[in-house]
Chain A
């Protein structure tokens, strides 16, 4: 029972962090899964830092330090970016499910026609 709950927990949290943007790894090669997950987080972080820098810091670069407004802007930027990531993940997941359903229906239809 402990094994099952551990696997289930991993599955569910993988869905929430990992499965929303990418497919679940078909065969459980843990090294590939971990490496890919790490890459995903790296890309996420880089894109987030770049986007927030573009949106929040002024172009003039007169000072080597961030102003107070820029700092609070970047805090809010991070929070909004991560929320946007979740919402996009949900939309993608729904689209994937719809497509899978459509393909299943198509395959069933073809089987039915081929059986005649």
Chain B
């Protein structure tokens, strides 16, 4: 993430603002995608106007599992990034 780390200070404020906006947009997008995903996998009959008990629990479980999986993926991703940065730093150190 060197483009981010090497930002000159006078644009860092602007960047943080951009980042906040991106995060807000991203969380709304994720919400919509999650709803679509869980609806597609859980709801398949339209005999009544409201969700039956099975569909309700399925949707709730789906959302909870997706969030847990996202957290886990984020953890592994961060580990991988850290390892890669360490490897790059070591390579730099060895190259000198």
Contacts and interface: CB of A to CB of B under 8 A. Distances in A.
Nearest to B30: A46
> SS class of chain B's interface: helix, strand, loop or mixed?
helix
Name the residue in B14, B59, B72, B80 with the highest tally of chain A Cβ atoms < 10 Å from its Cβ.
B72
B61 A64 contact: yes
A57 interface: yes
A42 B25 CA distance: 11
A90 interface: no
Interface in B23-56: 26, 29-30, 33, 37-38, 41-42
B4 interface: yes
Contacts of B37: 50, 53
A92 interface: no
Nearest to A56: B69
A46 B26 contact: yes
Contacts of A78: 73, 76-77, 80
B19 interface: yes
26 contacts: A5-B96, A9-B92, A10-B6, A12-B92, A14-B2, A17-B84, A18-B3, A35-B18, A37-B4, A41-B1, A49-B69, A53-B65, A53-B69, A53-B70, A57-B66, A59-B41, A60-B58, A61-B59, A65-B64, A66-B65, A66-B72, A74-B72, A77-B73, A78-B73, A79-B80, A82-B77
Interface of B: 1-4, 6-8, 11, 14-15, 18-19, 22, 26, 29-30, 33, 37-38, 41-42, 57-62, 64-66, 68-70, 72-74, 76-77, 80, 84, 88, 92, 96
Given A12-B92, A56-B69, A62-B61, 6 more contacts: A30-B6, A34-B4, A60-B58, A62-B58, A66-B69, A70-B69
Interface of A: 5, 9-10, 12-14, 16-18, 30-31, 33-39, 41-42, 45-46, 48-50, 52-53, 56-57, 59-66, 70-71, 74-75, 77-79, 82
